[in-house]
Amino acid sequence: MIIAIWVVLPYAAVVSCAAGHLWRYRRDGFRGYLYGPHIDKAQRIGIAAVRTGFPVVFAVRVAEMLASGPHTRPEHDIQVLLSAVQIVAAPVTVAGVALILIPPLISADVRHRVTPLDRLTLPLLSAALLSAVLVTFDGSATDGRYRAAETLFPWARSLLNLHPDTSGMDHAPLLYQARGLIVVAIIAIWPYTRLAGILSVPTLRLLRQAVPASYRSAPTV
């Protein structure tokens, strides 16, 4: 069961994410929900907010993981900077997601295009934001230990290195286990939601600018 939860599920989520992006690219070039006359001003603002906030949040988490020691947080000044940036960027990201997802949920014209995964996306991202805050400012770590550096970070690095190590997560506090599973769930469903094109479309545009026209065979995104 431990292997299934902390090894099989994460790798299955990555496979789902990769296959889903390929499917969406072939299906509609990631433009199915984020473009067209049905997109109002609030959703356009939401798209800009997510494209600004999400990469920052991701970069902060990666930087924190790399700068943390086995039992310690990053140096004080670095930790203050990372926390300040995250406090601003994370709410911006979730607010942007809300602006993208809520209008279709209440509009009769497009409600039929809202999938169960779309309905799940905002609660999951909100849970990810809340768990990130709770992990960062974990008041239960009175002994000065940085539990994320002992649980989540080694586990994530071991998966990336293709040498899975579940020891940190086996006996991790429930909060840290829940955060790991929330992130895994977001990775698994991302390409099948309305947010699939948020980062994919700008990335494809950059790639198309870098690749000579003679090598382009897919339709322009």
Q: Please indicate, yes or no, if residue 209 is contained in any of the structural domains.
A: no
Q: Please indicate, yes or no, if residue 170 is contained in any of the structural domains.
A: yes
| CA-closest candidate to residue 60, choices 84, 82, 92, 90 | 82
Q: In total, how many domains does the chain have?
A: 1
Structure confidence at residue 221 as a pLDDT band (50, 70, 90): very low
**Structural domain that includes position 56:** 2-203
d(C-alpha 63, C-alpha 136), whole Å: 13
pLDDT of residue 127: 93
Residue 73 neighbours by CB distance under 10 Å: 20
Q: Please indicate, yes or no, if residue 212 is contained in any of the structural domains.
A: no
| CA-closest candidate to residue 43, choices 194, 184, 173, 180 | 194
- Residue 220 near residue 25 (C-beta atoms within 8 A): no
The CATH number for 93's domain is 1.20.950.20
Averaged pLDDT, 109-132? 82
End-to-end CA gap in the chain:
42
Structure confidence at residue 28 as a pLDDT band (50, 70, 90): confident
Q: Please indicate, yes or no, if residue 211 is contained in any of the structural domains.
A: no
Averaged pLDDT, 79-84? 84
Give the helix ranges, DSSP H, for the chain: 2-3, 9-28, 41-67, 76-106, 116-136, 147-150, 152-160, 167-170, 174-189, 197-210
Q: Please indicate, yes or no, if residue 210 is contained in any of the structural domains.
A: no
Averaged pLDDT, 17-29? 91
Single-letter amino acid code for the residue at 148: A
Residue 215 neighbours by CB distance under 10 Å: 7
Q: Please indicate, yes or no, if residue 31 is contained in any of the structural domains.
A: yes
Q: Please indicate, yes or no, if residue 45 is contained in any of the structural domains.
A: yes
Structure confidence at residue 114 as a pLDDT band (50, 70, 90): confident
